[in-house]
Every structure is written in C-alpha cells, then in structure tokens.
Structure 1
Amino acid sequence: MPSFRAPSETRPGDDRSTDLIRWAAFSCFLVPVVLLWYGTSLAGTTGTALGLAAVTAVCRVLLRRSERCAVRLLDEEHAPQGHPRGRHQRTGAGSHRGGRHSGGNSPAG
C-alpha cells in the first residue's frame, strides 16, 4: 500500500522523481529486449535503445532543472523582504510621479 504524504511534507527532488527516472531506465532496458524477442533486427533494436536513452537523459536533465527552479522560488517566497520598491521606484520629496510638467525648474513651475 503506497504511503500518503501531506502536501506540506513533499518537496521537489523527493522519491517521485527518483522513481520516475528508475522506471525510465528500466524501460530503456526492457523495450530493446522485447523487440529482440519478437524478431526485430539488432540494428533497429540498438537505434531504439539509443533513442530511448537519449530521451530519458534529456527528461532527467529537465526534471532536475525544474526542481532547482522550484526550490529557488520557494526560497524566494520565504526570504525576508527588503524594501518593497526597487531602486528606481522611489516615492517622496523630489520624485516625479508622472503627469505633465509646465517646463520650468522651479518647484511651482
């Protein structure tokens, strides 16, 4: 019976991604064996095995990359916030808030 984890306990990079990669590696082995069993040529079976291995490797790289991005986003969510505005978005005395300007350099206008 599979164990159930609450969503708060799960995190990127846990057993699900490892299991997925293991099943993919297993199928990279199993599919060529079945193809040979049913009489496919050795060249065709080798090409299929190499293709499956390449797709599995790319999927693994993409999966790990998305896990790192998810961890980084979670860290940014929980990091203490500095100033609510960026460097160029200051408000207060002397800042221009948009709108029309009458042209002079004096505060009145």
Structure 2
Amino acid sequence: MNTEPLSAAAEPAADPAGEVVRWAAFSCVLVPVVLVVYGASFAGAAGSALGLTAVTAACRLLLRQSERAAAQERARGPLPPSGRHARGAPGARPGGRHTRGCRPEG
C-alpha cells in the first residue's frame, strides 16, 4: 500500500476564489510587462494594468459575496420539497388534468 503524502498539486484548493484572485493579480502585473516588451507605450500598459486591476477587484467582490450567500444557504438546511411531485397543504386538491367545463365550441 502506498503511504506517501499527496503532493501540493494533487490536493484540492482550500480557497478557490483566492486562487482565482491570485492568478488575476499575476496577470495584472504580467500583461503590462508583455505590452511594453512588445512595443506598447507605458501609458497604454499602465491603462491596461488599471483596467485589469478594476476588473479583478470587482470579480473578487462578487466571488466573496457568492461564497457568503452559499454559506448562508448551507447553514439554513435543506429546503422543503417543491415542484411537481411535492405534497401540498392538507386538504388541497392535487393538480392535474381537468376536463369538466373545457369543451371545445363548435
């Protein structure tokens, strides 16, 4: 039996949103450098960096907000059944096909 510990690459990410934000921050640095190397102006590269930083910040905010909402949903517990096969209130009539009073005129 193999008792070696798993490598860091094989372990699941503890904070998936944090991983996304780290990669986005890396691109905020890398993209302007590549633009300057390939002949773009410093002003254009700085504008790109600012735009990427703004998008990264907005995405980070939305990711954290969705994580909080998901945690609140998990804390509430399971929802009562709903939909086609769920039981209604006691004494309520079940849905279905009604043929009375639906005659075609002709």
TM-score of the superposition, structure 1-length normalised?
0.61
1:55 aligns with 2:55: yes
1:3 aligns with 2:10: yes
Uncovered stretches (5+) of structure 2, i.e. residues with no partner: 1-6, 79-89, 93-106
Partner of 1:104: none
Uncovered stretches (5+) of structure 1, i.e. residues with no partner: 79-90, 92-96, 98-109
Partner of 2:29: 29
Q: Deviation at 1:42?
A: 1.1
Larger relative CO (CA 8 A, sep 6+): 1 or 2? 1
Q: Counterparts of 1:4 and 1:40 in 2: how far apart (Å)?
A: 40
**Identity %, equivalent residues:** 51
**What do the CA deviations read for 1:47-103 (whole angstroms, capped 9, x no partner)?**
10000000000000000000000000000116xxxxxxxxxxxx9xxxxx9xxxxxx
Q: Deviation at 1:36?
A: 0.5
Structure 1 residue ranges (4+ consecutive) displaced by more than 3 angstroms after TM superposition: none
Aligned CA RMSD, in angstroms, stands at 2.8
**Alignment size in residue pairs:** 80
Q: How does 1:56-95 map to 2 (within 5 A)?
A: 56-77=56-77
TM-score of the superposition, structure 2-length normalised?
0.62
